[in-house]
Structures are given as C-alpha cells and as structure tokens.
Structure 1
Amino acid sequence: MLLLSIILLFICIGLTIYFLFLLRQRYQYFSQRGIPTPPFRFFFGHLQTLWNSASFHRQLESWTKQYGKIYGIYQGTVPTFVVSDPDFLQEVFIKQFPVFQGRHEISVRKPNDVASSSGAKWRRHRHIINPTFSAAKLKMMSPLINGCISNLMEKLADHATNNSQFNIYVYYKRMTMDVICRCAFGLDTDLQNNPNNIYFKKVEEIFTTNFRAHIVFKFAQLAPGMRNIIGKIFLGMNKARAFINIHILPLISTKQLHEIPGPWLVSRLHPIIEQRQQMPTSRVDVLQLMLQAITEEKINDDVSNNSKANYRLTREEIISNILIFMAAGYETTSTALACATYELARHPEVLEKLQSEIDQLPLGNDETSDEEAKTYPDYDIVAQMPYMDKFVSEILRMYPIANVAIQRCASEDTIVQGIKIEKGTVVYADVYSVHYDRELWGPEDPYVFFPERHDIKRHPMAYLAFGAGPRHCIGMRFALIEMKILLVRLLREYSILPGDHLESKFNIRERSVIAPEEVWVKLVKRTA
C-alpha cells in the first residue's frame, strides 16, 4: 500500500511538472513569432489586468499605442492577437473567412443562435434569418417603426411644451425595445406607456450587469475546457431558484430570489412560440421566418449533410435567437441614437445641415391611404440621404458600441501576413484604435466629430461599426433605417439644445456594450 501511494505521488508530481511545462511552452507562443506582448502573469496571462481595468477597450487601445498595431495577449492560456492593422484584419475577416468563421466563445450557455454559433450551424441560422432584412421586408416594416416613433414623439412633445431639460436616452431605450418586439416578433408590448414591463426590465438588466466582473465569467475565461461544466452548474443553480420562486415562495412570502435575466427570459419565451404556432399570421417578421423552419427532429450539422433542404431550427434555437434579437435590437440602436443626440446638441452647424437635408425630403408615401402616414418618412426616403449617411457613420465611428464581439478564432493552422497562427488562436480587432487611426481617418483629427470625413473612400477595414466580412451584423440595415426614420421625424419638428447636465452626466461606461449613462437635452419647436 505504501509503495502504491509513493507511485501515485510521483505520478501526480510528474503530471504537474508536465502541465507546468506545457503552460510554459504556451506562454512562448508570441516570443517564438517575434510578436511583442505586454507583461503578463503565469496562468492568468493578461486577464487580471483586463479584469481590473475600468475599460476593456481603452486598455487595448493603450497597449496598441505602446506595442504597435499587431501584438499579443494571453486570455488565461489562450493566445490572442490584438490587431489594428487593416491589411491583417482584411486577411482574417474576409480573405481567410473559412478559417476564421467562429468566435472564441466564453459564454456558459450552449451556442444556439446566429450570434454565437459557427461553421455549418451558423450558416444554417444565417440562411433562415437573412431574408428578414431584405429591402422589401424593411419597406413593409416602416409603418410599424413609424408607429413606435409616433408614441415617442408624443412623450417628447410634453418636454418641448414645458421647455424642460430631460434625459432623452430613457425614451430611446423604450422606443427601440418597442420596435424590436413589434417588428421582429409581432408583440404589441406598449412598452413606452408601461416602462415597468417585466420583459423590458429583464432585458435592461442584461446590459446594466457587468458580466465581465462575474466570477463564473472569469472561471470560463481561465478554464475554457471547463466551460460546459461550469455552465451546467451555474444554470442548474438558476433553475433551482426559478423552481423555488414559482412553487415554494408564493406560499410563504412575497419576495423572490433573483434569477439571472437570460434564463428567465428563455423560460418565458416558450408560450410566445406556442401562441404564434396556434394563431398563424400573415405578418413577415423574424419569428415567422424562423417558425416556418421549425422542426422537432434532431439536427445534424455535419458538413456532408448540410444542404439547403436541411436548413431547419429547433425550438430551443428559435428561443435563443429571439433573446439575441431582443437584446441587440434594444441596446445598440438606442445607444447610437443617444450618442447622435449628444453630438447634435454639441454641434449646431451639423444639426442645421441635417435639418436642411430633411426639409428637402418629400413628406412621405403618397401611395398609402392613411392620411396621417403620408407625413411619415418611409424606407425609400431615408435610404437616399447622403448627409444623414455621413452623420450616422461618423457617430458609429466615434462610438463603436459592440466592439468586443469583433473577434475571430482560427479553426485550423494558417498563415496571415507571414505570421503562423495555430488552431484555437484568437484575433481581436482593436476597433477603437482603428476608428481613431490618423493614417486611416485623416487629415482631420479623428478625435473631432466631422461627418464630411466620410466623403473620402477609406480602407475596407477602416470602419468596423457592424463588423466585417460575411459575418457582419445581420441587423445592420434594420438598425440604420430605424435610426434614420427617428432622426428625420425628430429634427423635422425640433431643434436640439444642450442641457445643463449634458457633459457631466454623459459618462461613457462599459458593461455588455459601450454606452453613455444619460443624455440631457432640451427640445425647441421649429418654426415654419
């Protein structure tokens, strides 16, 4: 027995030494390639620095200034290229897309949607959802978008009448959530009149929670191989809390245990699917297109079996996609509108140029029988506004909202710009460094808001607001049309002045996305 114990001890010591040897070899990944890297700690790599940093993207930007446009960091033991060289990014995101199709996922949930999946599964999701955002479908959604904006305009009219200063960002959030619910899922939530709607509160919680600071997120980063086990434990605990909330606490207390918002929403979306299946509609939206492809059978995403005839979605995949679109359609668009309003309040000359272009537009769609709708801009009108295009592009250049998602993971060994990249290596696009690069965006100072800079044709990878390559944001055109219709209607009727707290309360923060805290403005009715 003693001999067996000694043998086991030596085996454990040997395995530990071998593991440490492998780690040491791993941490030579960049030095072997002549790639600079900031100082790091064994096992953690650069994660402790990133966790303790107030801003992930600003930390990358700071390192870029110090180490250049291509350098390396370690997310735990995962080697990650941080890149702001546009030619390198073009190779990764476009030319070698088959090698860099997927992202380095550290979520504890199974990749079941168009945003988190990769390979054949991603192609299947994209093929089914893509038609929703065609020009024809967006034209059909214009009246729904305008209906939500009409509700918003009623709320803003009260502030204009009272000559009051207010935080307009709050209203944008409610409006964009209203739009995504109506246009994507056929749900008339009346969120703008009922801001305490529980679904709205749960989606808002997703974006106010700093998941990067959560212990489960950190464990998943440090031990990606344990991600599935960590996820099952974490989600299992949440299911237990949900069971207690539904079946036990109502009998003894009015209080509820906290459930994390994602799983809470998933559990409540099943009835929406069932109701829509029982009551078919002629509306063409994201949910309807996904339901047309629903299957109860197990899907095989093996490449050899990946024909268009097999492009189906399971119920769980549909629910995951609903959650993604609710979250993405809500926060990103409202944040872009908030930043746009902030810059308009600071730049009256830009405001005047936009209003001049808007005043030259036809009132609306003369073909409709709805007299009120004739005064509303539709898809065709807002799609042909050159100065508006430049203005929105400049907003998204200076305020890239979801830049953390712009990364790819190599699915096999390859060579990019003469650098050997092994399977499993991650490439991060340092979006802020790209968007503020004087070589890419000069001669005007990139830190100055200047829409006219978009008159000049730039490098294909100089603008990454919606990602790049085949995997660019699927809802890009929808978001742009929604933004432009809102801005046309708002600026046709009002001028925007800065509130007393515009600068002090703007305060860009970084959680799930990069967003301001508040945008305080004053609306002044325009005279004819």
Structure 2
Amino acid sequence: MDLHLCCLLDSWALSLAGIVVVVFLLLWLRRREAEDYQRRTGIPAPEGILPLIGHLYQVIRMGVDDYERKWFNEKKTKIIVSWYGKTPLITVADPEIAKHVLVKDFPYFQDRPRRIYTMTQTPVNKGVFFHYGSHWKRIRSILTPTFSTGKLKMTTHDINRCSANLADKMENMAKAKENVEVKQLYGGFTLDAIAATAFGLDVDSINNPDSSFIKNIKEIFQRGMKPWRRICITLASVFPSLYPVLRIFNLTFFNKENVGFFVRQCQAMIEDRKTESSERHVDFLQLMVNAELDDQSLQDQHINSGQKKLTNDEIIGQAFLFFVAGYETTANTMNFVSYELAVNQEVQDRVVQEIKDQIGKDEPNYENVNKLQYMEQVILETLRMYPPLPRLTREIGETVVIKDYTFLKGGTVVIPVYGLHHNPDYWPDPEKFDPDRFENSKNVQNKFYYMPFGLGPRMCLGMRLAMLELKIALVHVLRRVRFVPCQETQIPLKVITNKGLITVEKPIKLAFELRH
C-alpha cells in the first residue's frame, strides 16, 4: 500500500513538473516572439506578456485607458505594441505618427480591421464603414454627393420639424416639473431626423414610441448583448480562428430579429421608390436607388471596374449604416451638450444670447446657424471631452517605416482619441469644460490631437449633417427651456470608454425650466 502511494505521488510530481516546464517554455517562447517583434519594429512593448492571451489580462484588469497611460509613462514613449492573443496592436498617441496613418501614408492604412466586417451579418455589413479596398473607394465616391451643401440645405425643413417636436415635448416636461433622462428624448429626435432626411419618413418617435418600426430600430442599439454572447465575440476578436464557428451559430454584433425587420422594411421602401418618379424624392435613399445596378449578372463586373453602381444589398447596407452612425452618436453628443450647459449656466446664457443676436425669432437654416460661432465652440468642446468613438483602428496593409518605427503588414494600429483629447500636453486642464479653447476652431481642428469625427479620407461622411442637426435642435430647445441639474444629476460625470462608444456610469438626468 505504501509502495503504491509512493508511486502515485511520484507520478503526480512528474506530471506537475512537466506542466511547470511546459508553462515556462511557453512563457519563454512568447517573450522571445515579442522581443523579436520589438527588435524588428523598434516599437516598445509592455512587460508581462502571457501565452495565448498576450497582454489581454492587464487590459481587462486595469481598463484600456489606464493600461495605456501606465505604459506610455513607464516606457517614456507615445507608441507601444500590445498583444491581444496573437495579434499585435500598435497604440499611437503621437499626433505626427497619427497624421501619417490617417493622411500622409493612408494607402498603407486605408482599411479598418477585417474582423469588424466578419462579425457583422449580411447585408448590413455592406455599409461603407465595414468595407475595405476598392469596394470602399467605389461606395464612398457614390455617397459623397449626398452630403454636399446643396443637399444639406434641403434637409433643414425636416430637421426644423423634428426639432420643434422635441422642443414641444421638453416644454411640456418643464411645465410638469419632471426630471428627465435626456438621452431617451434625443434618441427619439435623432431617429425622427434620420428617418425624414434619409428616407422621407414621418415617424414622430418622440410622441409615438410604440410603432413596430421605431421599437425595432431602437432595440438594435439599446438591447444589451447577453454576457455569454459578448464573451464569445471578445474571444473571437482575440482568436480570429473562431470566426467561422461564430458564423455557424449566427453570433454577430447586431440582433438577428431586429436587423431582419429593418432589412425587410428597407427592401419594401426600395421597391416603392422604383415604381415612383425619382423627382418626388431628394433624400439619401433616392440617391442610392438611382445608383443601383439592376442586372445581377453585371454586378461583379461593375464592382471590380469601379463604376458608380450599387447592388441591392449595398443599398440596404448604407441605409443601415445611416441609422447606426446617426442615431447613437448624435443622441450621445446632444446628451453631453445638455449636461455641460446645465452645469455651466454662464455658458448656456452666452449661447442663448448669441441665438437672440444672430437669428432672433427667424427659423434656423443652413446659413444662419453658421453664424452661431459660440454654439459651435460649445459643440466642439463637448466632442473633445466626449468623442463619439474613443478609439480609431486601422489595419496595416503593407509594411511601412514612419519616424524610425516599422509598421509590419498584418498588424493593427489603434489611435486613442479619448486619450489624445484629454492629454494635458495638448489641452491645459483637460477635464475642464472650456469652449473658448475653440475660439480659433479651424486651427485646432487641423491638429491630429483632435479628431472626434476621424481625419483623412475615412473621416465621417455625415459630420456636416450631424453638426447641422445639433445646431438647429439647440436653437429650438434653448428658445423654450433652460437646462438645469436636478438631485439625480451625477456631478462630476463618470465616463466609460471601453465599450466601443462613450457611455456614462449613470444615465444623465436633468430638469427643464420654462423661459419667459
């Protein structure tokens, strides 16, 4: 019996020793691989790399912003390479290198990571945001005329109508002395504005939130992803070999039922447009229908030749992207603008006085809202403190050398927008809300430490439309009500930046007071 026990213990000891040897071997190999990458690229890497997961443990434990800040400081650098599984992610906090990535050397960095395309279901992954290479160039060139000055001027009637509805709702809430979660209101406004300017629809989700169209669109963005689903998608982003498995089980970024509803509705609108006179509509959808390629047999030929035609799936993809890009980001920005005006009453008073001086009682339009310089400064400062996308990502398409650093083909570059926007080297007292920073806004907006809409050829197409919506809505609202904090307003605001979009720890709640 004693002999048997001794043999068993010896066997366990040998097994444990074998495991320890294997672990140390994996650690040594992983560290050697990382050191070799540093030697070839000249880009420093944080310590503590682990087999299989790389630096992911540190990122999860510390949070991505604190992780990057720690290693930038310890390495005394503005560029580091971290490993997410086997994928090297090069984080660039140097505005000069960012300028090369986004503009000067754009051909080497023109695509977003392919996993974004892979994890988004067809046909909504046909949107220009998800595309790459020649497909992206062709679709971008078709969509660019949609946001010309002439087209934007045509949208102001619909934006004014939606803004007036929003102001009416807020005025009624002010009379009722309600404390309001303002993001919900702005979500309704932006949904109405997108439906009107892009698709010619009058949905009035502010007052009628229960229609099937409105509920399905909102659920695409508001329905939280179940934890197991989020874990699976995160694992696939670290281990790309899992993508085919997730596709088999239909695990994607957006909910299948809601997206299916949108696709069917969009398809019906497209068919209706084909039977109507194109002169009846001047919106986003009509432009795409006019550019549609009807003959299915010629689609691949036209796509490869770069001609300005869209497939039916591509039209649906752009329509979906219009909602994705315009709904959450614009509503978020209005949410934060309202908060900052509420807690900075002197700023709010200056904006209201400027509206009186520059527009008076006239209806806001494309020309007169551009006179609201201080309001624009308020919006730009809000976008600095709360950029819609806290990080930009680009794939390295070909190996290139920038400032003595070698960017190897196949890696991913990350530009920490939120970190740059809050860096005291570029913004004195960065946590202070100060619209006067943008008194000479054109000088600041050309710097590569300010990029709320991105910069370069892939910067946001809808930037000018979003600014127009924000200004017109603020004119209508601030004429009628004053934003004020309430007992449920979180001061200071606690911001979360590691969930893709800027979010807050607690929903922003404000009160409204009637203006005389």
TM-score range, shorter chain: 0.7 to 0.9
Q: What SS does the corresponding residue of 1:490 show, helix, strand or coil? A: helix
Q: Does 1:397 align with 2:384?
A: yes
| Correspondence for 1:277 | 274
SS in 1 for 2:286: helix
Alignment partner of 1:467 is 2:454? yes
Distance 1:23 1:62, change over 3 A: closer
**Residue of structure 1 in register with 2:430 after alignment:** 446
Matched to 2:422, the amino acid is: Y
The one-letter code sitting in structure 2 at the alignment partner of 1:36 is P
Distance 1:382 1:419, change over 3 A: same
SS of 2:114's partner is coil
**Which residue of structure 1 aligns with residue 509 of structure 2?**
520
Report the AA paired with residue 318 of structure 1: I
Post-superposition shift, 1:96? Answer: 0.4
Deviations 1:168-205 (CA, angstroms, capped at 9, x unpaired): 22111111011111111122222122213334334433
Give TM-score, length-normalised by structure 1: 0.82
Q: Where does residue 408 of structure 1 map in the other structure?
A: 394
Residue of structure 2 aligned with 1:495, choices 467, 482, 499? 482
CA contact (8 A) 1:47 1:74 kept: yes
Question: 2:108 is paired with a residue of what secondary structure?
Answer: coil
Query: In the alignment, what sits opposite 2:417?
Result: 431
**CA–CA distance in structure 1, aligned partners of residues 367 and 271 of structure 2:** 35
Cα offset, 1:280, TM superposition: 3.8
The CA distance in 1 between the partners of 2:177 and 2:44, in whole Å, is 56
SS in 1 for 2:249: helix
What is the correspondence of 1:250-261 to structure 2 with a 5 Å cutoff?
259=256, 261=258
Partner of 1:150: 164
C-alpha offsets along residues 243-286 of structure 1, whole Å, 9 cap, x if unaligned? Answer: xxxxxxxxxxxxxxx84544553344322222222334422111
Distance 1:231 1:128, change over 3 A: farther
Gap runs ≥5 in structure 2: 1-24
Contact 1:203/1:327 (8 A) holds in 2 = no
2-side partners of 1:389 and 1:121: how far apart? 34
Output the aligned Cα RMSD: 2.8
Farther-moved stretch of structure 1 (410-419 vs 508-517): 508-517
Q: Is contact 1:26-1:77 (8 Å) kept?
A: no
5 Å-filtered alignment, 1:353-432, equals 353-363=350-360, 375-404=362-391, 406-432=392-418
Q: State the shift of 1:521 in Å.
A: 1.8
The secondary structure found in structure 2 opposite 1:42 is coil
Which one of the candidate residues 452, 465, 470 is aligned to 1:478?
465
From 123, 129, 135, the equivalent of 1:121 is 135
Query: Contact 2:481–2:513 (CA<8 Å) still a contact in 1?
Result: yes
Q: Does residue 291 in structure 1 map to residue 278 in structure 2?
A: no
Displacement of 1:231 after TM fit?
Answer: 4.8
Letter of the aligned partner of 2:314 in structure 1?
E
Identity %: 31
Bigger shift: 104-113 or 478-487?
104-113
Q: In structure 1, which of residues 25, 29, 51 is the aligned counterpart of residue 37 of structure 2? A: 29
Identify which range, 20-29 or 136-145, moves more after superposition. Answer: 20-29
Correspondence 1:121-270 to 2 at 5 A:
121-208=135-222, 209-210=224-225, 214-227=230-243, 229-235=244-250, 259=256, 261-270=258-267
Deviation at 1:91, TM superposition (A): 0.8
Tell me how far 1:416 sits from its aligned partner: 1.3
Aligned to 1:250: none
Shift of the 41–126 alpha-carbon distance from structure 1 to 2, 3 Å rule, reads same
Partners of 1:187 and 1:448 in 2: CA distance: 40
1:46: how far off? 2.6
Aligned residues: 472
Greater CA drift, 23-32 or 497-506: 23-32
Q: In structure 1, how many angstroms separate the alpha carbons of the residues matched to 2:31 and 2:212?
A: 46
* Contact 1:506–1:518, Cα closer than 8 Å, also in 2: no
Q: Which piece of structure 1 moves more, 505-514 or 490-499?
A: 505-514
Contact in 2 for aligned 1:27/1:77 (Cα 8 Å): no
**Matched residue SS, 1:98:** helix
Q: Distance in 1 between matches of 2:220 and 2:74?
A: 33
Summarize the Cα distance change of 1:268–1:46 in structure 2 as closer, same or farther, 3 Å threshold.
farther
